[in-house]
């Protein structure tokens, strides 16, 4: 056997060997050329690079290996080759050699089979486990001669999808109602009644539901390739092996997760993702992706070598002074060196790809503060990457949403660089939770959140639309659990309940978890209505956690990242069981749409709204909790609203302000009322003709609308 065959274990194949030429250094990744496929791979410190070609997705050994001659196949730091006669469907991988000197930041290993960072699809046998592929790079393994069999590989895809007339929607921020959900969890439960549960195509069956609810944008949790089997822990009660369900450990940033496809043919996940996007767009629903550029699935110094580590470790990651170790601002073992020019360009190329080729409308950036750190991990005033993303001509009008904090202590809510960036408003979540829980001294903060958080954003020239308002999200309790559990219950995660937040500002109202007590359940329902009503009455961009609208529960687990089971899945029988709350949420979304004063893209001026206590005087923000607000809307009397919020455990009587001349107050929302009076349809409110005061029941919110009298 020749030396190359001994080194790579070439498989016997009847396929003819491909011929090849020097190829081109740009674009990076794979590009279809006339008569062949061009490959371009960045590696500054590599000394040898091999392209591995496989017969099909099942092959564990390549049938052809081509070593790239630096004299002909390298331009600067880019290794390139054009394989003649190859086309869409070709399966490939790389191996790269260079200095193996962890103390200098180099971790090259020619035995490792590497994924292409620019791969647009990964492929594997129908039944697979990443374990053999994602092997450790520990010193113990370095002493072994054998490399594990290649299971997961790259696939050459094409761009022949028929988009018809599809375009990005570009909804105004003020029209957005964001629904955060998980591709698999959304439809995998048997009650979902979808033809292809747990898949991109399965989402299409739920579009009529989303449309009827009033959703205008869906924010999908990470759907770029990740390893679902990377966890080794088990559920201590059942022995079930835990899985990476959320997907916040990306392996291939350009590639939609194969597990969300039907596997009808290799790479079908790409076309099926596009089919889903086209269907959502046809329904007027934008597609936002949760992207995780702050770290990768390669973990710390004992983690697997998948691509970046084996291609140029010291370029792609922020390293400690002792370069054997990684700085960890992500809490996941490593931190991407986002402001290195090579990594910046990689991230920009990736975002452009998802917009141009996949028609994605925007992005939510996980732990986005990391994108503002330099090569030493320091936060910089004007981060080049954030500016480039905001000013990039291709990305100029897409939605940009930052989770403006990280695990290294940076909390930049209200201070995230750049006016184009909207932010998950963590202050909104916490202040609204605390106010309705009855914490003292929260009325001022509550009113600020209702008004768009000017105290947080106005000083930097931002507007209410820079605030993504939410009460719950994937990270933490569901809304149902927020009012049902005083403490987290994460034992099933196998970490002795140490994981997840210890500060949820939740309450159980007398019993931990589910109960048959009608009094407790009545309070819980009312509080959920209070939260949803507040969300849709607030200036800013509302986001709800998928399933909250019908009281989905995670049984008190506030960190269900590893629960690929009924803890996380959407049980659609709850939509019928909790129809009252579902209809309330739908009614609140419709109410917001009818009253554009609530979604204005500017902050209230002093003359636009006046606040008062139950006696009609200016509130004492330190002592008053029950407060009222009159939104004047001078330019349009029919948009005038009066809001009353009472977090107390007793009823409070408010003096009513005068309605506009020729109008009467009509009660449209009352979270203490039963349907249809909890949120009334147009023309079916309760007119208050002669009342001078209004009784607001305990833990409830009331909204009056000005309607013409007579």
What amino acid positions are annotated as catalytic residues? 366, 403
Return the beta strands (E) in 163-216 as ranges.
178-181
- Strand pairing class (467-469; 422-424): parallel
Separation CA 126–CA 105 (nearest Å): 36
Residue 200 has phi, psi (to 5 degrees) of -55, -45
Separation CA 306–CA 273 (nearest Å): 24
Separation CA 36–CA 53 (nearest Å): 14
- For residue 582, give the 3-state DSSP assignment: helix
From 173, 178, 171, select the one nearest 544 (Cα to Cα): 178
Q: Do 246 and 146 contact (CB within 8 A), yes or no?
A: no
- For residue 688, give the 3-state DSSP assignment: strand
Residue 166: how many CB atoms within 10 A of its CB? 16
From 19, 34, 17, select the one nearest 81 (Cα to Cα): 19
With tokens 């399966």, the residue in question is: 91
Buried b (16+ CB within 10 A) or exposed e, 659-675: bbeebbbbbbbbbbbee
Separation CA 440–CA 262 (nearest Å): 52
Residue 385 has phi, psi (to 5 degrees) of -65, -45
> Which strand (E) or helix (H) includes residue 707?
strand 700-708
Residue 15 neighbours by CB under 8 Å, 6+ apart? 55, 63, 64
Question: Which two tokens mark 490?
Answer: 């994460």
Separation CA 527–CA 521 (nearest Å): 10
Give the sign of the dihedral formed by CA 193, CA 225, CA 494, CA 367.
negative
Omega of the bond leading into 239 within 30 degrees of 0 (cis): no
Output the DSSP codes for 146-170: PPPPP-SEEE--------TT-----
What dihedral angle (degrees, nearest 10) is formed by the CA atoms of 61, 65, 67, 72? -140
Residue 79 has phi, psi (to 5 degrees) of -95, 135
Separation CA 466–CA 449 (nearest Å): 12
Radius of gyration for the chain, computed over Cα atoms and rounded to the nearest angstrom: 28
């Amino acid at each position: 056997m020749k030396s190359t065959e001994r080194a790579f274990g070439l498989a016997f194949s009847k396929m003819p060997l491909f011929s090849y030429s020097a190829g081109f250094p740009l674009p990076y990744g794979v590009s279809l050329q006339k008569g062949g496929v061009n490959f371009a791979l960045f590696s500054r410190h590599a000394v040898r690079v091999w392209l591995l070609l496989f017969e099909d997705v099942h092959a564990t050994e390549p049938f052809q290996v081509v070593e790239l001659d630096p004299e002909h196949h390298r331009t600067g730091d880019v290794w390139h080759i054009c394989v003649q006669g190859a086309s869409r469907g070709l399966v490939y991988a790389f191996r790269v050699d260079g200095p193996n000197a962890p103390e200098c930041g180099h971790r090259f290993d020619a035995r490792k089979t590497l994924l292409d960072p620019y791969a647009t699809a990964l492929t594997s046998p129908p039944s697979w486990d990443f374990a053999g592929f994602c092997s450790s790079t520990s010193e113990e393994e370095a002493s072994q001669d054998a490399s594990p069999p290649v299971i997961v590989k790259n696939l050459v895809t094409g761009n022949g999808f028929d988009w018809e007339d599809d375009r990005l929607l570009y909804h105004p921020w003020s029209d957005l109602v964001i629904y955060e959900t998980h591709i698999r969890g959304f439809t995998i439960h048997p009650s979902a009644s979808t033809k292809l549960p747990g898949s991109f195509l399965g989402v299409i069956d739920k579009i009529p539901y989303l449309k009827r609810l009033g959703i205008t944008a869906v924010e999908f949790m990470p759907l770029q390739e990740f390893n679902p089997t990377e966890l080794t822990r088990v559920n201590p009660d059942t022995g079930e092996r835990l899985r990476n369900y959320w997907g916040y450990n990306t392996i291939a940033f350009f590639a939609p997760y194969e597990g969300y496809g039907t596997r009808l043919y290799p790479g079908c996940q790409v076309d099926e993702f596009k089919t889903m996007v086209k269907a959502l767009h046809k329904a007027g629903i934008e597609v936002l992706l949760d992207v995780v550029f702050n770290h990768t699935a390669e973990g710390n110094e004992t983690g697997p070598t998948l691509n970046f580590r084996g291609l140029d470790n010291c370029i792609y990651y922020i390293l400690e002074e002792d370069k054997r170790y990684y700085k960890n601002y992500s809490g996941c073992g490593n931190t991407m060196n986002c402001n290195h020019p090579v990594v910046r360009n990689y991230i920009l190329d990736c975002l452009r790809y998802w917009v141009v080729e996949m028609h994605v409308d925007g992005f939510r950036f996980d732990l986005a503060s990391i994108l503002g750190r330099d090569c030493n991990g320091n936060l910089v005033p004007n981060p080049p990457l954030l500016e480039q993303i905001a000013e990039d001509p291709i990305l100029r009008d897409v939605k940009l949403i930052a989770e403006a904090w990280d695990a290294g202590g940076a909390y930049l809510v209200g201070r995230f660089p750049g006016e184009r960036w909207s932010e998950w408003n963590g202050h909104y979540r916490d202040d609204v939770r605390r106010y309705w829980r009855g914490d003292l001294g929260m009325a001022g903060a509550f009113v600020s959140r209702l008004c768009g958080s000017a105290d947080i954003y106005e000083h930097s020239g931002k507007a209410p639309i820079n605030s993504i308002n939410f009460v719950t999200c994937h990270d933490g309790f569901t809304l149902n659990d927020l009012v049902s559990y005083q403490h987290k219950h994460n034992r099933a995660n196998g970490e002795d309940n140490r994981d997840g937040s210890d500060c949820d500002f939740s309450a159980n109202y007398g019993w931990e978890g589910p109960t048959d007590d009608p009094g407790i359940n009545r309070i819980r329902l009312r509080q959920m209505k209070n939260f949803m009503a507040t969300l849709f009455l607030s200036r800013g961009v509302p986001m709800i956690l998928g399933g909250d609208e019908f009281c989905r529960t995670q049984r008190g687990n506030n960190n269900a990242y590893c629960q690929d089971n009924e803890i996380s899945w959407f049980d659609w029988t709850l939509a019928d069981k909790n129809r009252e709350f579902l209809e309330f949420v739908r009614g609140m979304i419709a109410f917001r749409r009818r009253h554009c004063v609530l979604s204005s893209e500017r902050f209230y001026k002093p003359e636009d709204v006046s606040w008062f206590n139950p006696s009609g005087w200016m509130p004492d923000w330190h002592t008053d909790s029950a407060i009222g607000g009159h939104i004047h809307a001078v330019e349009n009397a029919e948009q005038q609203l009066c809001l009353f919020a009472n977090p107390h455990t007793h009823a409070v009587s408010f003096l009513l302000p005068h309605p506009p001349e020729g109008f009467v107050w009509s009660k449209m929302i009352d979270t203490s009322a039963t349907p249809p009076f909890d949120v009334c349809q147009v023309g079916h409110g309760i007119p208050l003709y002669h009342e001078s005061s209004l009784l607001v029941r305990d833990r409830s919110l009331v909204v009056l609308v000005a309607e013409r009298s007579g």
